[in-house]
Amino acid sequence: MDIMIAVQDVCVSSQWFTAIILSLCCFLPSCLPAGQTVDYASIESVVTRQGDTALLRCTSDGISKGAWLNRSSIIFAGNDKWSVDPRVSIVSSGGEYSLQIQKVDVTDDGLYTCSVQSERNPKPKHLHLVVKVPPKIYDISSDITVNEGSNVSLICTASGKPDPTISWRHITPLARKYDSGEYLNITGITRDQAGDYECSAMNDIASPDSKTVKVIVKCKYISVLATIWLPKQILIYINMLWQLEMSLKRKFIMINMLCYGHVLHLHWDGDLNGPEYKVICLRQI
């Protein structure tokens, strides 16, 4: 007698399983007859962030059997788990038959189907899981050294969902911004365009991801720009203010001043013991 009951249970279970799989097949895009499509207007969107826990809600009367599918793969049939993914589970309390996915990733993005097998007809519910991803810069140009007047091209690429917007700015007191895009092109770079350039990738998911690249501009020297006379006291003050490195050679002092990332050479000529020094300024180009 027990054997007969067990056989009947197996048969009923088999019939239920066959029925629910067939009913689910009727609502999968890959199983629909030619010319028929899923009514995507009725699909519910569930939006979550990468790394969060997503809950795809579906209801049941507590008696009828249900199943969850992702595309054409069975995740759960009733409370029997078919998926080998340890992140997925069923929330089935209080008439709920919802699918929970922990630590969602972009590979989880897509269409999910919940089907509850009632006495007459299945009640399918389609949900589209949208996994959004914060911006991440994965490649940026290395620091470079160029000659003044050269053309410079910098690149910055990033990933994210939705696709991040990339912007550039020159890190100076003016903080000049450039047009958005992966590439930053500078034609005929000048010395005042040297310095750090910041690339920022941003979308509506998280704070921007930023990285910098340093551009060093090598300059040439031309003829004398100006010849002036300065009192000793001013020279001493400049020396203290800028912490200039001084080297004494015969009757002139050469000072190297770091200004905007470039070395400006100033030559003091004249009597070192006199009240004034003659200053010859060489401009960089």
Each residue of 153-201: pLDDT tens digit? Answer: 999 999 999 999 999 999 987 777 787 899 999 999 988 899 999 999 9
Half-sphere exposure of 196 (CA within 13 A, CB side): 10
CATH 2.40.170.20 given to domain 40-132: no
The CA distance from 10 to 26, in Å, is 24
Beta-carbon neighbour count of residue 151 at 10 Å? Answer: 10
Residue 236 confidence (pLDDT) above 80: no
The class that CATH gives domain 141-218 is mainly beta
- Residue 183 token pair: 């590439």
Q: Worst-scoring range by mean pLDDT, 6-15, 52-61, 98-107?
A: 6-15
The pLDDT, as a whole number, for residue 201 is 96
pTM value?
A: 0.58
Beta-carbon neighbour count of residue 125 at 10 Å? Answer: 20
The pLDDT, as a whole number, for residue 101 is 96
pLDDT band, very low/low/confident/very high, at 33 (cuts 50, 70, 90)? very low
Alpha-carbon dihedral 59, 61, 66, 70, rounded to 10 degrees: 0
Q: What is the mean pLDDT of residues 6-21?
A: 43
- Every domain range in the chain assigned CATH 2.60.40.10: 40-132, 141-218
